[in-house]
Structure 1
Amino acid sequence: MGSIETLLPLITLISIILTAAILCLPSRYTHSHTQEKDKKGRVAVLVLGDIGRSPRMQYHALSLASNGWGVDLIGYDESTPRPEILSSPNIRIIPLPPPPPVLATSSKALFPIIAPLKVLFQLSALFYLLFYIIRPPSYILVQNPPSIPTLIVARITAFVRNSRLVIDWHNFGYSILALKLGDDHPLVKISKWYETKFGNSAYANFTVTDQMRKVLREGWGITKPILALHDRPPTIFQPLDQRQRDAFLSTHRLTAQNVPFDNTKLLISSTSWTPDEDFSILFAALQYYTTTAKKSSSSAKLPNILAIITGKGPLLKHYEPLINELNQSESCVTIRTAFLPAEEYPKLLASADLGVCLHTSSSGVDLPMKVVDMFGVGIPVAAVKFEAINELVKDGVNGVVFEAGVNPGQTKGEELGEILVRLFGDSNELEVLKEGAMKEVERRWEGEWDGVAKDIFEGKAKSQ
């Protein structure tokens, strides 16, 4: 440990030099944005993640820009953001340099050693960017998690540059860290204390659910304004009529060979392939469906399933052998994986018969954006049950919920498998859920943001 500690100053210096060099390189994004004075001022929207895979922060940026704010959207440049982001003259994308691969580890033993080095690299990049690259913002809107080091960097920047700090709580950083280290690990306890302190130092806080707002207020004792800002889909997510659906399915690379869909149901799920989503449940359910279909009589024959899983992430390679095994077996199920461009994803969702969500939530009080998107195009959802899911999925109304664990007398994935057999074997029940999902189409991000968040950026934060 001593040798590592003596190297820390050198590592910090090197990271600052490297960060400065990378940030001075030209971005692949070119905007018509000028350095003229913005109508209302500027807002720095900060996410220590991939901008292209951070839809909520992109929606924040678009809402702020449409309300006259200049926006510096800061994050990793890994996936292409929404076209509206790229074309907006009021939004400037500021890419963060990613930490070097040597600072990534899945080892629990190495994590306490590697993590501080990664944080040092991120600290140097964030401080350089927030102090020297962008103009002083009126507000800094930061996504949490990740909590470390974004909250402390944003708070120091807000103090020095006379900005107001607004935290957008998507989940709790300490609960995600607990998945890796365990609930009783000292770093997990420190992380929770850290989040509590900075939540109380913010000008205002947004949460994705009412349950999360309740935890921050009553469980953590945060006294600063907390407002539940529920995720809603933007207007790009729209239902398709039958003609539009057929046209899309007949031309898209993932579905064209399955057209017509007379005897095939399209099942959609999306994921970042992270530990909080156990896709072995879905694969076991599809195997159960296949076994049941083989036993069905010709008069009650179940349709085939084309299951498309969109997204990219670290655990995809872990599941690929299981996916290949299912695809190579004599099965009525075909599984395909892909990462879709932003303009294709809404149309593929709108073409589906059913969405599946396996998000279990490390905290129990966040909600999955994928379900919001599915409701935006009017498709019903089968979702894993957890504490806050009833704020979104109403069992038997716009979808169904099921247990992530194994119920007594059942095997893994059997409950979901039974749901698939029931819904795809009974078009009446699926149609009822479809009608319920279509009612969710009217609830949009723009209206939610204007009703909840707009006043915060007008300096009208109120305690709730």
Structure 2
Amino acid sequence: MIEQAISIAFWLSSLLTVIIVALPSQYIPQSARGDNRKEKVTAQILVLGDIGRSPRMQYHALSIARHGGHVEIIGYHGKQLAVFSFLGGRDIITMLTPAVFLESDPHPEITSNANISVVPLPPHPAILQTNNKFLFLALGPLKVLFQIASLWLCLAYRTRPAKYLLVQNPPSIPSLALSSIVCYLRQTRLIIDWHNFGYSILALKLGNQHPLVVISRWYEKFFCGGAFAHFCVTNAMARILKDEFGITGSPIFPLHDRPARHFKPVLDEEERTQFLQSLPESTAHGAELANGDIRVLVSSTSWTSDEDFSVLIDALCRYSKIASAENPALPKILAIITGKGPQKEMYLNEISNREHAGKLQKVTIKTAWLSTLDYAKLLGCASLGVSLHTSSSGVDLPMKVVDMFGAGLPVVGWNRFEAWPELVTEGTNGRGFGSAEELTSHLTDLFGNPAKLEILRKGAQKESLRRWDQEWDPVAGRLLQLV
């Protein structure tokens, strides 16, 4: 009996020793170590997705680095990324099928800045990838476990403890829970950057009352309670976090998206024409671009179900019919659509069918994938931008419109959600629509009356003066003790 008790005590003490030794190392301020020098701010930024597709989180990293802080930005970055975002990614499709995307290059300053380190998350092993629905049901949970394990190892062991951890939300599962636990163990201050709500994206497909949506909402409310602070993209979102999520113990800071420095208007007409003529997507329209006989319309999309791209296709078909039969004075349109995503092929087939049916005679639709700098240049050279972002929560805003304003590009966008007026001033720098018919009306009015389009352009150029640094420094910079 005594021997059994000794054996049990030995194994329990051994297990306790292993647990204590294996705990993540804690963040220790310089003052606690007896170092009187000014402490250098250290921060980690977690992006549970492609770093190159997360401009706001990249801007956070650049701002911290410019003020002398050291940043580790953690996320997917490689030749080929297997991104599986369970319960809270951009689209419910990510729950059902493995989504494989090619690399999106981070902002050039991210990789060249000595104060920024990129810590890549490992993609899922090839053995876990399958297109077989039955095998996926078995492999799906293994993917989730792999993501949890790789994220835990990265946050707790592969990186040194930092003073702050800034985590993007959504996706919220599993990043929000793991970040909360790691920050508690490491004595790191957790800051949640709310872009939207994960449960609201899930509700697009399942409905608000679905058990998974209810659980997801509870999960976000529970794990956000221990954060040191919160950033959010709109005032309306800050109100929901306070009133509905009950966040009162930590500060909530609205931090609106603003364009980075590389987005700027192209005012020189010769430069504009030369750039557009250099793009493979517009080479065939070189003479029309030089003569001003065609208008360049730009839209950026992730090709997912939260953006109904058929609205734009229908509007362009209607425009083509009006320009062909009713108002021949209307110019042709070259629509360049940028972005990658799961529904791209479906929409490309739809566009091809419309072209073969003769419904796009006055419109040419091209898709493109551009570098960060070329995309910024395209926005500065275009005539009009279109946003199809519908907002699952009603309180987030499309980053693409922010970029368009940074390039001085007027915008027409889907406006049937609460936060839209926080970004666009109707009739001053853009217009809103809620149907393909309304969008068609805006296109014919603006392209048929250049003076009206010029009014919006001047408003967008005025908006372009509001920059990320001006928004970030007094809010995030002050919170992180960098300014």
TM-score band (shorter)? 0.7 to 0.9
Task: Tell me which residue corresponds to 1:380.
Answer: 410
Letter in 1 for 2:191: V
Letter in 2 for 1:320: L
Q: SS of the residue aligned with 2:171? A: coil
Matched, 1:444 2:475: no
TM-score normalised by L of structure 2: 0.82
Q: Is the 8 A contact 1:327 1:335 kept in 2?
A: no
Matched, 1:280 2:279: no
Letter in 1 for 2:214: K
Counterparts of 1:146-295 in structure 2 under 5 Å? 146-223=171-248, 224-241=250-267, 242-260=269-287, 261=289, 262-295=292-325
Counterparts of 1:37-116 in structure 2 under 5 Å? 40-77=40-77, 78-100=103-125, 102=128, 116=141
Letter in 2 for 1:312: K
Counterparts of 1:4-15 in structure 2 under 5 Å? none
Matched, 1:349 2:379: yes
Equivalent-residue separation in structure 1 for 2:65 and 2:242 (angstroms): 30
Cα distance, 1:116–1:252 mapped onto 2, change above 3 Å: same
Offset at residue 132 of structure 1 (A): 1.6
Task: Tell me which residue corresponds to 1:392.
Answer: 423
Matched, 1:304 2:327: no
Q: SS of the residue aligned with 2:308? A: coil
Cα distance, 1:45–1:297 mapped onto 2, change above 3 Å: closer
Larger CA deviation: 253-262 vs 349-358: 253-262
Offset at residue 250 of structure 1 (A): 2.2
C-alpha deviations, 1:360-391, integer Å up to 9, x for none? 01101000000000000111100001211110
Equivalent-residue separation in structure 2 for 1:106 and 1:324 (angstroms): 29
Larger CA deviation: 93-102 vs 235-244: 93-102
Letter in 1 for 2:311: I
Letter in 2 for 1:247: Q
Equivalent-residue separation in structure 2 for 1:119 and 1:247 (angstroms): 48
Q: Which of 286, 298, 314 pairs up with 2:342?
A: 314
Letter in 2 for 1:303: P
Matched, 1:120 2:151: no
Q: SS of the residue aligned with 1:269? A: strand
Equivalent-residue separation in structure 1 for 2:393 and 2:278 (angstroms): 41
Letter in 2 for 1:403: G
Q: SS of the residue aligned with 1:335? A: strand
Equivalent-residue separation in structure 2 for 1:115 and 1:398 (angstroms): 45
Larger CA deviation: 227-236 vs 109-118: 109-118
Larger CA deviation: 235-244 vs 248-257: 248-257
Cα distance, 1:106–1:85 mapped onto 2, change above 3 Å: farther
Equivalent-residue separation in structure 2 for 1:167 and 1:444 (angstroms): 22
Offset at residue 103 of structure 1 (A): 6.2
Q: Which of 424, 427, 430 pairs up with 2:453?
A: 430
Equivalent-residue separation in structure 1 for 2:137 and 2:254 (angstroms): 34
Equivalent-residue separation in structure 2 for 1:58 and 1:183 (angstroms): 32
Q: Is the 8 A contact 2:281 2:366 kept in 1?
A: yes
Q: SS of the residue aligned with 1:151? A: helix
Matched, 1:333 2:359: no
Equivalent-residue separation in structure 2 for 1:326 and 1:352 (angstroms): 24
Letter in 1 for 2:213: V
C-alpha deviations, 1:173-195, integer Å up to 9, x for none? 00111123221111111111111
Equivalent-residue separation in structure 1 for 2:312 and 2:197 (angstroms): 26
Unaligned runs of 5+ residues in structure 2 are 1-36, 78-102
Letter in 2 for 1:238: K
Equivalent-residue separation in structure 2 for 1:279 and 1:317 (angstroms): 12
Q: Is the 8 A contact 1:103 1:115 kept in 2?
A: no
Equivalent-residue separation in structure 2 for 1:369 and 1:327 (angstroms): 30
Equivalent-residue separation in structure 2 for 1:447 and 1:148 (angstroms): 32
Cα distance, 1:66–1:435 mapped onto 2, change above 3 Å: same
Q: SS of the residue aligned with 1:307? A: strand
C-alpha deviations, 1:202-248, integer Å up to 9, x for none? 00000000000001011221112100000000110010121221221
Q: SS of the residue aligned with 1:455? A: helix
Letter in 2 for 1:443: R
Equivalent-residue separation in structure 2 for 1:57 and 1:334 (angstroms): 34
Offset at residue 139 of structure 1 (A): 0.5
C-alpha deviations, 1:262-316, integer Å up to 9, x for none? 1100000001111110000000000000110111355xx1100000000000110
Q: Is the 8 A contact 1:65 1:90 kept in 2?
A: yes
Percentage of pairs with the same residue: 52
Q: Is the 8 A contact 1:38 1:68 kept in 2?
A: no
Offset at residue 419 of structure 1 (A): 1.2
Q: SS of the residue aligned with 1:259? A: helix
Larger CA deviation: 174-183 vs 262-271: 174-183
Cα distance, 1:124–1:447 mapped onto 2, change above 3 Å: same
Q: Is the 8 A contact 2:67 2:482 kept in 1?
A: no
Matched, 1:364 2:394: yes
Equivalent-residue separation in structure 2 for 1:250 and 1:451 (angstroms): 41
Cα distance, 1:394–1:234 mapped onto 2, change above 3 Å: same
Letter in 2 for 1:304: K
Q: SS of the residue aligned with 1:75? A: strand
Offset at residue 100 of structure 1 (A): 4.8
Offset at residue 41 of structure 1 (A): 3.5
Equivalent-residue separation in structure 2 for 1:430 and 1:304 (angstroms): 15
Equivalent-residue separation in structure 2 for 1:105 and 1:164 (angstroms): 41
Q: Is the 8 A contact 1:38 1:69 kept in 2?
A: no
Equivalent-residue separation in structure 2 for 1:368 and 1:106 (angstroms): 35
Cα distance, 1:226–1:339 mapped onto 2, change above 3 Å: same
Q: SS of the residue aligned with 2:464? A: helix
Larger of the two Rg values belongs to structure: 2
C-alpha deviations, 1:308-365, integer Å up to 9, x for none? 0000001101111112123443611000011111121000011110000000011010
Equivalent-residue separation in structure 1 for 2:371 and 2:43 (angstroms): 27
